Structure 1
Amino acid sequence: MFLSASVKPSGPLRFQSQRFAYTVTWRGGSCEHFRLAPAAFRAQLEEWVREFVAHGHQVASVVRVVEQEDADGQDTSLVVVGLVHASGSVYVESRGYDDPLWQATLTGSDTDETLTPYALAGVAAELVVAGNLCAFLQWKSLEWDRKSGTR
């Protein structure tokens, strides 16, 4: 955000990006900005996950939003889909700060896992749900950006 030197606000300016809230203050004629804690991003993710489930998606897995710290110690939040029919999880997260596109990481154990046909079908169904959740969160992020006027 760029402010002209001729702008003289009477108080602090506040704006919000997808993950962070900012407050811009003036001191001695110069502008300083401070990045605050993520703008209720974890709460927003929890709400979106509840909305996803409320739409009728059959979620057998345990889905939770957990803290994840970046290199600066900020909570960037992460959605974890724990697999029921096999060991491992799917981590769902946005690609970066203020990036509305999402990605998923599939983790497993260090050993091979032998599954029955039914367990394999269960894992496949869980992965479909994780993929749908990832697409839903990306859609919600894009919708949020569109409504906020940032994209």
Structure 2
Amino acid sequence: MDNIEEYLSQFEDFELAFFWKYKLDTYMEGTQNEIKAYLGKRNLDETKMQNLIEEYSHKTFTDHELRCSRCKSKKIITKEENPSETYFDPEILKIASSTYNDINGRKMDYACVVCGLALNPFKHSSFTRKILNAVLNILSLPINNARRGHW
């Protein structure tokens, strides 16, 4: 099994459908052909993938897991940014830090592995969750699990 097949074998059918729709064109032609061949092995033709996309676009989940708002996948990656590594002017650093997620000036960026959507998981979070997040930030507790909805 080559790398692309090994990578795609971790995806469920609905995730492959969204991957096909949103990320296929980001790959070089040879890799696109490998992806299409793998989709064929999984018996996913264009019609079936369109149906999966339609079904999952409107699906709601009650498991409180962090999911992509577009494809509903739980395959989310995070990247932590520290503005002090980017900015040198203290005034710029102060302004930049005010927009960051925690009191230490770090920002967590979230993106969907499947469809590539950049996510802001707290944009529509409840008031209670925002309060809890603020308390955890003040206490400087590890909040990775809280941010993923495991609390």
TM-score tier (shorter): under 0.3
Structure number with higher relative contact order (C-alpha < 8 Å, ≥ 6 residues apart): 2
Tell me the TM-score normalised to structure 2 length: 0.23
Structure 1 or 2, whichever has the larger Rg, is: 1
